[in-house]
Structures are given as structure tokens and as C-alpha cells.
Amino acid sequence: MKVLIADDHSVVRQGVSLILREAFPNMEVSHTDTFEKALELLKTNEVELLLLDINLPGGNSVSMVSAIYALRPDIKILMFSAYDEEQYAIRYIHAGVHGYLNKLSSEEEIIEAVQTILKGGKYISSKVKDRIFENALNKTPDNPLDTLSNRELEIAEMLVQGDGNLEIANKLDIRMSTVSTYKSRIFEKLGVSNIVSLVEKFRLYNS
């Protein structure tokens, strides 16, 4: 059984490797620190399970998943990240990964997640399961960008590209006060408070 850990933090790679080797004596664990190196290793090795950090040098978006499956359609992917699972897990599960695990998880949770996935299941925390259930009951879109109107989405994309209120007003031939109103609505609907958070939301959900 071959497992690859793709994470740019040496302490994380070494720590998780130790946990897995102790829990699964027959497991062969290798690791790498960039997405490019991970793809090279996948080209030449029959890896059964990939533990993948979201914020990996060379590939920090959900598009990593499709690139990996293009090389290894049968590989199992467990996202392993410090990012908020309530915001990120559902997006990556929809992209086809087999699980999402927070880096603050206990050794027992890491082992449970790996066991579950290797047995053919999927692993998410109870918190994420509750979020999925809540979204289904309230008919809330999994992609928050779907809550924006066409005009709101247009202005949000311009904000993400670096346009200011005056530039947007001139390009769309509307008043600056109108842009400000749209901006406030966009921030409220997406649950962000600044442009940096807006860019991050688009990076995740507009891939």
C-alpha cells in the first residue's frame, strides 16, 4: 500500500508519516513539498492514497483535483489542511475528493479518516455533515457565488480584478453610490468583510 503526503511543512509531513507507519505497518509512505513534484511522483508510482494540502506551492486551488485524476483516475484523495473545513470541505468533496481533514485533528481522527477512505468510504467531520444537512434543509446553494445576481457577480468579479468603485462606476456607467450599495450586498451575501477575503472566496468557488 503506497501513500503520498503532499505538504510544504516538513513537521507536518514527518509527523503524519510517523502516525501512518505506526498504525499501518505495511504502508509505504513517501512525501513531497510542491504540487509539481507530487504530479511527477504520481506519474511514476502506483499511489493508492494522496494526502493533499490545499495551500501547496504550485497548485493552491480546487483545480489540483482534476489534474491529479487526469494522471491517476483511481487514486483516493484526502485533503489535509488548516483551512476552515466548513468553508472548504464541501467544495472539495464536490470536486471528487474522498475526504477532508483539518490539520488540528487528533491522531485517532487521522487514522480513522485513512481507514475509512481505504475501505472505499468518504470521510468528513460531523461539523461538515451538519452543514451539508443544514444547506439541504434550507435549500442553500453549496456555492455561495450562486446567491449573487448577475449584476452583483459582474461587480464582484471587477472588484476581484482590482477595480475600485470609481473605475467600476465609469465602466458600467452607474453612480459610485450604486457601486457601494452593490459592494455591501456582495460582502453580506458572501460573508466577507474586505477585498482580500472576497478574492479568496472567488479563488475557491470560481475555479
In 49-62, which positions are buried (b, 16+ CB within 10 angstroms) versus exposed (e)?
A: bbbbbbebeebebb
Better pLDDT: 201 or 79: 79
Q: Where are the beta strands (DSSP E) in the chain?
A: 2-6, 28-32, 49-52, 76-81, 99-102
pTM of the model: 0.74
Please report which confidence band the pLDDT of residue 175 belongs to, taking 50, 70 and 90 as the band edges. Answer: very high
- Percent above pLDDT 70 for the chain: 96
pLDDT at 19: 96
Measured in degrees and rounded to the nearest 5, phi and psi for residue 112 equal: -60, -45
What is the distance between the alpha carbons of residues 207 and 203, in angstroms, rounded to a whole number? 6
Alpha-helical regions (H) of 72-149: 85-94, 107-118, 126-138
User: Which pairs count as long-range contacts for 120-126, CB under 8 Å and 24+ apart, including other chains?
Assistant: 122/93, 122/98, 123/78, 123/98, 123/99, 124/85, 124/89, 124/93, 124/99, 124/100, 125/85, 125/89, 125/100, 125/101
pLDDT 10s digits, 21-71: 999 999 999 999 999 999 999 999 999 999 999 889 998 778 899 999 999
What is the pLDDT averaged over residues 118-123?
Answer: 94
Better pLDDT: 111 or 137: 111
Which region holds residue 191: left if phi is over 0, alpha if psi is between -120 and 50, else beta? Answer: left
What is the pLDDT averaged over residues 65-88?
Answer: 90
Number of C-alpha atoms within 13 angstroms, CB side, residue 20? Answer: 25
Examine the pLDDT at 206 and tell me if it is beyond 90.
Answer: no
pLDDT at 127: 79
Please report which confidence band the pLDDT of residue 11 belongs to, taking 50, 70 and 90 as the band edges. Answer: very high
- Which domains, from first to last, does the chain contain? 2-136 (3.40.50.2300), 144-205 (1.10.10.10)
What mean pLDDT is reported for the chain?
90
pLDDT at 140: 65
pLDDT at 147: 87
For CA atoms 172, 177, 183, 189, the dihedral sign is negative
pLDDT at 136: 67
